Each structure stands twice: as structure tokens, then as C-alpha cells.
Chains A and B, each alone.
Chain A
Amino acid sequence: MNTSILLLILALIGIASYLAGTRRAVALAGGRSSDMHSRPGYYGSYVLIWALLPAALVLALWLAISPLLVNSAVRSEFPEEVRAQPQASQSLAYGMVSTIARGLQVLTPEEREQVTAGTADVRPLLASRGVAIAGDPEPYMMEAAQTLNGLSATSRFGMIATVLAVAIGGLLLAYRRIAPRFRARNQVEKVILGALVVASSIAILTTVGIVFSMLSEAIQFFTMVPASEFFFGTVWDPRFAAAGAADSAGQFGLIPLLAGTLYIGAVAMAVAVPVGLFSAIYMAEYASPRFRSVAKPLLEVLAGIPTIVYGFFALTTVGPFLRDISAQINELATGNYQNFIQAQSVITAGFVMGIMLIPYVSSLSDDIITAVPRALRDGSLGLGATKSETIKRVVLPAALPGIVGAILMTASRAIGETMIVVLAAGVAARMQFDPFEPMTTVTVKIVSQLTGDLEFTSPQTLVAFALGITLFTITLCLNIYALYIVRKYREQYE
């Protein structure tokens, strides 16, 4: 009997408990539902909760803990010389043992006997059943595999027995408590409220998870590479992670990546802020409702297009276009057909990212401009200012804090953006000021350090988490400050 059948049985117990609880409540009330405290369904739900909730908790705990216990029990049976080996090769050995254990279960009883007696060769036999073992198993592994199978079977039996006992026990307990004056609804609602609280704390857990997971890996990184070298280093050259090679330590300087990130972000903002702001002003102040109802959703389509599509657009259309046009300009100016804009460059990535960010700036600023009280405009217009003067001298200054908040939020998007820069900015980590040359960003390096084979012990992998926490901190600060500004501004006019 495996876990899915157990779940099925639990579901059946659940249905049965609900029906039993409802029936008993009705029977006890003798058909006069007004005598009961709660409606019959609540009694059913009460029994259901008692039958399933403790059982599910036990099941989850057992599933989480039992593999760990079995693992350590099996490992403690490994011979001395294996246990003296480093952790990594022990895990490898354990991996083989568990593969053999899995393989033993697909064999027929006669074959298993041959294998354990040592008369049949395990590896080809298992390979013919579709279970591939990495190397030839050593004798102790066979024993360990059998121990593993035995322990797992015991654990599974224990789990099924305990879970079913808890489920039925809970059912009986709750069933006996049912009485006409029993406040079943309040009990059930308490459980629902608990579930709601648990759900809303998932948001907290996510943040805690982000911070802790990245922090723990980053701290491990900082034990290998000093923090000052990471934060103030000007050379990014991580080399490759060669297993066990001592001289594979590279240089992990954050500065060139940060410079690229900020440079590309600045180009993007230089495109997005004027365009977005003027669009927002036009939409909010000039556009007729009909024009607005067409143009605004169309502009917002830009925000709905996945960033990978922008990346592809930059890679195949904008980049080559800029490269060719720069070659043509160069030919006109100097007679030399040689491009001075690279296909992958700061300007390509920044420009396309800017287009992506237009709707963020425009819809956020639009809301803020519309929120400026009518009276301010009327006052200015009444004094004879033209519409554009009103906007420039009255509306925008009033909306400025909110707009700054919107721009900061957009900037945090630009800094965290990944796919466009992965495809269009290049991978060369260097510090320079030519916008026509490729540069790279923090996000690009996170991706390139973490695609492919990973080893969670090498600085080459762990540096990604240090980069990640840097990125997270920067965007978090920008966002909190932006939210603070926007909130403060909103209070001003409420």
C-alpha cells in the first residue's frame, strides 16, 4: 500500500465522517432542527476536521522526518572506511544504495534471492529492468540496500497504521461529542480562521525564505571570498568551478556588474520617463474619453508582453538595425563602412527596456495626475493660465512626489529586469562609458553562474546568491522609499 492509496482511504474516511456527523446531529435533534445550535452540516464538518486534520499533520510529519531517520540509520551501517570519506562521496554511495534498493523491488523473488546470494550479477540484471546503477556495487552496498528496503517498509507500515489510527480516533472522539447544544459552528469557524491566518502568513514566509535562503548561501560565499573583495572589487573574473581544484578561485568584483546595471537602467529610464510622463499628461489632461479608452489599453499591452519577447526583439531587430545604421552613418561621415554600435550594447538593451517600462511610468503617473484636486486646476485656469502652463506650474509640482515614487518603482523594475539584458546586453563584465559597447548586469551574471551544472560548495555558484541578495536589497530599498513617498503624498490630498 503506498501513499496515494492511503490518501484515497483518508478521503473516504473524510466523506464517511461528514455523513456520519450530519446524520447523528439530525438524529439527536429528532428532526427539530431548531433544537440544534448549528446547522447539521457544521456537525459533519466538525467530525470531518477531527478525522482528517490531525491525521494529515501526522502524515506530513512522518513523510518529512522518516527519510532522514532511515538515511542516517543506513549510513551508520556503512563500513568504517566509507564513513571516513568526505561528505560528498558518502552521499554518492548513499545514492547508489538507494538506486539498488529501488532496483531490488522491481525484481522477481527468485531473482532477488540469486542477487542476495551473490550468484547473479546485479548491475546488468537491474539495467535490463530500466534501473541504471552508476558503478559496480560493493558488497556492503547490497546489505545496506536491503537494510534500507527493510527500514522503509517498516516505516511505511508504521505510518499507515499511525495515520489510520489517528484518523479513526479523531473521528470517534468528535462523533461522541456531538450533542444538540454543542457549538459546532463556532468550532468549525475557528479552524477556518486558523487556515486563513496560515494562508496570509505565507507572504511573510516567502520573504523570510528569500532572505534566509540567500543570506545563508551568501554567508557561505563570504567565508571563501572576503566581503570587501566582493563589494569593492573592480574585476569580475569568476573562472570555472573545477571540482577539488584549489587554484580555481577567481575574482568576484561587484562594481563592473553594478556599473553595467545602473548604466543600462539609466538609458532605459531616459527613454521611459519622458515618453511615459508625456503620455500620462496627455491621457490625463487632454485626451478625449474615446481616445483614452483606446490608447490607454493599447499602451498597457506593452506591459503585458513577456520580457523574453522584448529580449528577442532587441536581439534580432533593434540590435542589428542599430549596428547597420551606425555603419551607414560612419560611411557617410568617414567613408569607412564600419559599425560603431555593437549589436549587443548598452544602448540596445537600455532602449528596448525603456520601451517596456513606458506603461509602468505612464499608468502610475496617470493615476497620480488624476488624483490632483480639480480645485487647483480651476484656480490656475481661472487666473488666465493656459492649460499647459497650469500643468507645468500647478499640476506637476503638486504631483511631483507621487511621480518621483512612480519613477523609483520603475527604476527598481529596470534594475531587476533579466531577460532583455541576458539577450541584448552582452556578457562582458567591464567598466567603460561608451554606450555603444556591450556591458553586463547583475542579473545576467546570476543567470550565467546558475545555468548548467551546479555545485553548492564552489564560490562560482554561491556568488549568485551574494549577487541576488544585493539585488534584492537595492530593489527593496527603492520600493520601500517609493511606497513611503506615494503614501505620504496620498494623505496630503485626502
Chain B
Amino acid sequence: MTDAITPAAIPASAAPPRRDIGIKRRYAAERRFRAYGIAAISFGLLFLFLLLWSVVSKGYTAFQQTTITIPVEFSEQIIDPDNERQTDPRKLMTANYPNVARNALAKVLGVSTDDRAALREVNGLISDSIRTQLRDMVIANPAIIGTTQTVSLLAHGNVDSIFKGQVDLTVGEQNRRISDRQVGWMNELSASGALAKQFNAGIFVNGASSRPEAAGVGVALIGSFYMMLIVLVLALPIGVAASIYLEEFAPKNRFTDLIEVNINNLAAVPSIVYGLLGLAVFINFMGLPRSASLVGGLVLTLMTLPTIIIATRAALKAVPPSIRAAALGLGASKMQTIFHHVLPLAMPGILTGTIIGLAHALGETAPLLLIGMVAFVANYPTTPLDPSTALPVQIYMWANEAERAFVERTSGAIIILLLFLLVMNVGAILLRRRFERRW
């Protein structure tokens, strides 16, 4: 395009020579300016991609877990040598199940039960969490004592990392947590098909554990669920009621102006300040329990309220005045006009705003740290008053763990969190598409 106006392209006879207004330079500047814009957008999108890729590439392996499937002999000599289980049921709870598993694996690997050093290394292949696994099996069905069952034992976290190829095996033996002999056994087991990756249901159901292979987000999911429920039950009605008042009833005076400014500011208050509020008011003053999802839910409710109020007011404002005029003209009271006509028409917008507010609350971490949700909780909370954690807090705790296998867990948990957020946001978009009405 610029060629057309360069002096060379214009026949000298056809027109007088044009004054040089630096058009070339100016057009170059124009192109540069555009390029900056494209570069800026690409920069943002590049980092979005990098962020997601780094999480997914680190985390997708967390949904598979290495197990060792071998025949396990539930030997009576180890579990209950003195045959006391009829008289003392606690005997089965405290039996030496790790030895049962170790001996079974030693048998498969052909290690003599007298070779203590080798047995210790055999034990290093399996997770400590098989204690509960085997115990639960025996307690559910004590008849299996004395029989041999094929059991999938959870492999140790180090074995899991090596089997997934996350550990550099060229490093000297003394600098690794797994010895060459153990690696040899792993290859042996893997060749026979005993050592294999299975879908890791544990990450969804297990509670906190100091062993990465047995750690899961089960407790955190329940805690987050309770909190979302509390936020929904409290923030939606209160937010809608407040917006209706401000949008439809409030007289224009100092007080409503104050509320207006207030809500706008509350939406911009750093989330950690809400944590301080929760700590001082709900825990210190009202005496609610620490680490409880009830307190977390209340704090997140206060945090989400401004978002919902702002969205609801926008939705109410979008309903045309003709609807109100028609209802009022037919003799409806103001209250009837709003609750029978305006509110139902504004509902899609309100719900969209609520879902977005909920998604925001689901990913919020900082205020929850202050009210003691950073807790090692292994048991499911049965009520919102029980100690629990939340999904983002669980991610925070795992991110602080040093072990390699926890990086994978953390990324896995982030994938779960992002999937939840994706579902909520897509839901909000679909809701808007489906019910949006242009007046």
C-alpha cells in the first residue's frame, strides 16, 4: 500500500511533487504500533498456555498410581499367632500387616526370609499405607486369614516416581532413594505384569497423608463442598435482597450512597483482610471452632456478597421499565411487580453472577489460611463444624512438601480444581447464552 504513494511511483508529469510528510515513517510507526498490540496479546496468551501446560504436564500422571499385584498369604502366624482374635477383637487391628505384604513380595522375588537387609529393601517397594488396606480386608472378612488372595498393593511413592519415569536413574545409587537392586526387582515385577499403573481413585477419596502415594483430596473436596453450599445458601438470598432494595426501593440519600460506595469498596478489599475479619469475629469473638468449614463458608460469603450484589443490580437494571409500568398499571403492588415480574426476568443474569462469584470463592486460599484450614485432616468431616480443609488450601499444603511425588499430586489437585472452575464457568456462559434476552 505504501508503494503507491512513494514519489518514484508517481509520474512527475501527472502531478506536482508531493510535500514530504514522512508518510513512510508514519506508516512504519503504524505497523510497529499494531505489532506491539499483537505482541502484548500473544504474550498474555503464551503465558496462559505455559501455565496450563506446566500444570497438566506435571499433573496428569497423578491420576494413575503404580500398584503391585501379587498373591498375598494372610498367614495366621503373623496376623494372629496366639489365636486370640475370638477373645480380643483388637488383635486384628494391631496385627503386623506390613510383614504379611513384605513376605508375600519377598516370596515372589525369591528373597529368603532370613536375609534381613534384602527384606528391608523389599519393604521399601511397598507403601506403608497397605497396613490399613490389608487390615480393612481382614476385618471385613476374617475368614481370609490363612488363605492366599491376589491383592493389588500400593507401591511406594519412590517406586511410583521411577515407574512413571520422573526420576533420573543415571544418578549414582547413593544419591537416589531406590537402590539398583530394587530397580532390578521393579523391572522383574514389571516384566511379569505384577507392577503396573492403575487408575488412581485414591486421589479423589483419600484424606491427608504424609505419604504421597496415599494422599488425596477427599477431605478437601468435602470441605470445599460444604463451603460452597454455605456461600450459596447465604450469599444468594442476602445478595439478591440487598440488590432489590438498593435498585428498586432505596431513596436517593446519604445512607444509600454510603452503601453504594461501601459495596464497591468491599469488592476490592484484599481477600486476606476477610480472613482477618473471620479470625477476629467468628473465631475469637463468637467462639466458633477453628478449621471448620462453617467459618470458611461464612468468610467466603462475606467476600462473595459484593460480587453477587453488583451482578444482580446490573441484571435488575437491564429489565426494561415497561415491564414494571405494565405490572403497576394492572394494579400490582410494587412488591408484587418486583417479585412476580422483574425478578424472574432478571434471574439468568443473577445466576450467572452467582456462579462466577462461587467459582471465585472456590479458588480462594488466603482467608482460609488464617482461619486454620491449614490442617492435617485424615478423616472425613461429617458436619460443617468438623475440621476440614479446602481444595486450594490442600494445594497450598502440598506445594510446600519437599518430596518429588508431591509435585505431581499438587498439579493433579490443581487440575481437579481447574476442571471444577471450568465446569462452573462454562455453565455460567451456557446459562447466559440460553436465557439471555435482548430487550
The residues of A that contact B284 with a CB separation of less than 8 Å are: 456
Contact (Cβ within 8 A) A415 B270: yes
The residues of B that contact A492 with a CB separation of less than 8 Å are: none
The residues of B that contact A317 with a CB separation of less than 8 Å are: 50, 54
29 residue pairs from A and B, CB less than 8 Å apart:
A196-B241, A196-B244, A199-B245, A206-B302, A210-B269, A210-B277, A213-B281, A214-B276, A216-B280, A274-B40, A281-B37, A302-B48, A305-B363, A308-B396, A309-B51, A309-B395, A309-B418, A312-B410, A313-B54, A388-B29, A422-B366, A446-B370, A450-B369, A456-B284, A472-B269, A472-B273, A475-B269, A479-B268, A483-B265
| A279 CB contact (under 8 Å) in B41, B259, B275, B280 | B41
Contact (Cβ within 8 A) A217 B280: yes
| A213 CB contact (under 8 Å) in B50, B277, B425 | B277
Most chain-A CB neighbours within 10 Å: which of B244, B249, B264, B370?
Answer: B370
Contact (Cβ within 8 A) A465 B44: no
Assuming the contacts A204-B258, A278-B37, A279-B37, asked whether A310 and B51 have C-beta atoms less than 8 A apart, the reply is: yes
- Count of interface residues, chain A, beta-carbon cutoff 8 Å: 86
Most chain-A CB neighbours within 10 Å: which of B45, B280, B333?
Answer: B280
| B333 CB contact (under 8 Å) in A189, A210, A306 | A189
Which residues of B approach A to under 8 Å, CB–CB? 26-27, 29-30, 33-34, 36-41, 43-45, 47-48, 50-51, 54-55, 58, 237-239, 241-246, 249-250, 258-259, 261-266, 268-277, 279-281, 284-285, 302, 305-306, 309, 333-335, 359-360, 362-366, 369-370, 372, 374, 392, 395-396, 399, 407, 410-411, 414, 417-418, 421, 425
The residues of B that contact A276 with a CB separation of less than 8 Å are: 40
Q: For residue B417, which residue of chain A has the nearest CB?
A: A306
Give a binary string over A373-414; 1 marks a CB under 8 Å from any B CB, 0 the rest: 000000000000011110110000000000000000100110
CA A189 to CA B392, docked complex, whole Å: 43
Choose, from A51-59, A106-114, A169-177, A293-301, the stretch at the interface.
A293-301
The residues of B that contact A197 with a CB separation of less than 8 Å are: 245
Contact (Cβ within 8 A) A306 B266: no
Contact (Cβ within 8 A) A306 B273: no
| B259 CB contact (under 8 Å) in A201, A418, A483 | A201
Contact (Cβ within 8 A) B335 A192: yes
Assuming the contacts A203-B262, A358-B44, asked whether A412 and B273 have C-beta atoms less than 8 A apart, the reply is: no
Contact (Cβ within 8 A) A282 B277: no
Contact (Cβ within 8 A) B305 A282: no
Contact (Cβ within 8 A) A202 B30: no
Contact (Cβ within 8 A) B309 A203: yes
Q: For residue B250, which residue of chain A has the nearest CB?
A: A200
Q: With an 8 A cutoff between CB atoms, is A288 at the interface?
A: no
Near B by CB (< 8 A), chain A positions 427-470 give 443, 446-447, 450-451, 454, 456, 464-465, 468
The residues of B that contact A362 with a CB separation of less than 8 Å are: 44
Contact (Cβ within 8 A) A479 B265: yes
Q: With an 8 A cutoff between CB atoms, is A223 at the interface?
A: no
Q: For residue B283, which residue of chain A has the nearest CB?
A: A454
CA A216 to CA B55, docked complex, whole Å: 42
Most chain-B CB neighbours within 10 Å: which of A276, A317, A392?
Answer: A317
Q: A199-B238, A309-B417, A479-B264 are known; give 7 further A-B pairs, CB within 8 A.
A: A202-B242, A275-B40, A275-B43, A305-B363, A317-B50, A358-B44, A418-B272
CA A201 to CA B285, docked complex, whole Å: 21
Q: With an 8 A cutoff between CB atoms, is A311 at the interface?
A: yes
In whole Å, how far is A293's beta carbon from the nearest beta carbon of chain B? Answer: 12
Q: With an 8 A cutoff between CB atoms, is A286 at the interface?
A: yes
Assuming the contacts A275-B40, A299-B48, asked whether A465 and B276 have C-beta atoms less than 8 A apart, the reply is: yes
Contact (Cβ within 8 A) B265 A306: no
Contact (Cβ within 8 A) B30 A388: yes
Q: Is the interface of A mostly helix, strand, loop or mixed?
A: helix
| B366 CB contact (under 8 Å) in A443, A476, A480 | A443
Contact (Cβ within 8 A) B40 A213: no
Q: Is the interface of B mostly helix, strand, loop or mixed?
A: helix
Assuming the contacts A204-B262, A213-B280, asked whether A299 and B242 have C-beta atoms less than 8 A apart, the reply is: no
The residues of B that contact A413 with a CB separation of less than 8 Å are: 268, 270
Contact (Cβ within 8 A) A206 B305: yes
CA A206 to CA B51, docked complex, whole Å: 35
In whole Å, how far is A324's beta carbon from the nearest beta carbon of chain B? Answer: 15
| B55 CB contact (under 8 Å) in A204, A207, A313 | A313
CA A418 to CA B396, docked complex, whole Å: 12
| A391 CB contact (under 8 Å) in B33, B272, B414 | B33
CA A301 to CA B364, docked complex, whole Å: 16
The residues of B that contact A311 with a CB separation of less than 8 Å are: 396, 399
Contact (Cβ within 8 A) B45 A304: no
The residues of A that contact B44 with a CB separation of less than 8 Å are: 275, 279, 299, 302, 355, 358-359, 362
CA A214 to CA B26, docked complex, whole Å: 56
Q: For residue B365, which residue of chain A has the nearest CB?
A: A308
In whole Å, how far is A310's beta carbon from the nearest beta carbon of chain B? Answer: 7
The residues of B that contact A143 with a CB separation of less than 8 Å are: none
Contact (Cβ within 8 A) B30 A387: yes
CA A305 to CA B266, docked complex, whole Å: 21
Contact (Cβ within 8 A) B370 A450: yes
CA A465 to CA B246, docked complex, whole Å: 32
Assuming the contacts A192-B335, A213-B281, asked whether A386 and B30 have C-beta atoms less than 8 A apart, the reply is: yes
| A278 CB contact (under 8 Å) in B26, B36, B246 | B36
**Leading 7 A-B pairs by shortest Cβ distance:** A416-B270, A282-B37, A306-B363, A278-B40, A213-B280, A199-B241, A388-B33
Q: With an 8 A cutoff between CB atoms, is A124 at the interface?
A: no
| B407 CB contact (under 8 Å) in A210, A274, A286, A316 | A316
The residues of B that contact A301 with a CB separation of less than 8 Å are: 48
| A465 CB contact (under 8 Å) in B237, B262, B280 | B280
The residues of A that contact B26 with a CB separation of less than 8 Å are: 386, 389
The residues of A that contact B40 with a CB separation of less than 8 Å are: 274-279, 282
Q: With an 8 A cutoff between CB atoms, is A419 at the interface?
A: yes
The residues of A that contact B30 with a CB separation of less than 8 Å are: 386-389
Contact (Cβ within 8 A) B48 A419: no
In whole Å, how far is A338's beta carbon from the nearest beta carbon of chain B? Answer: 21
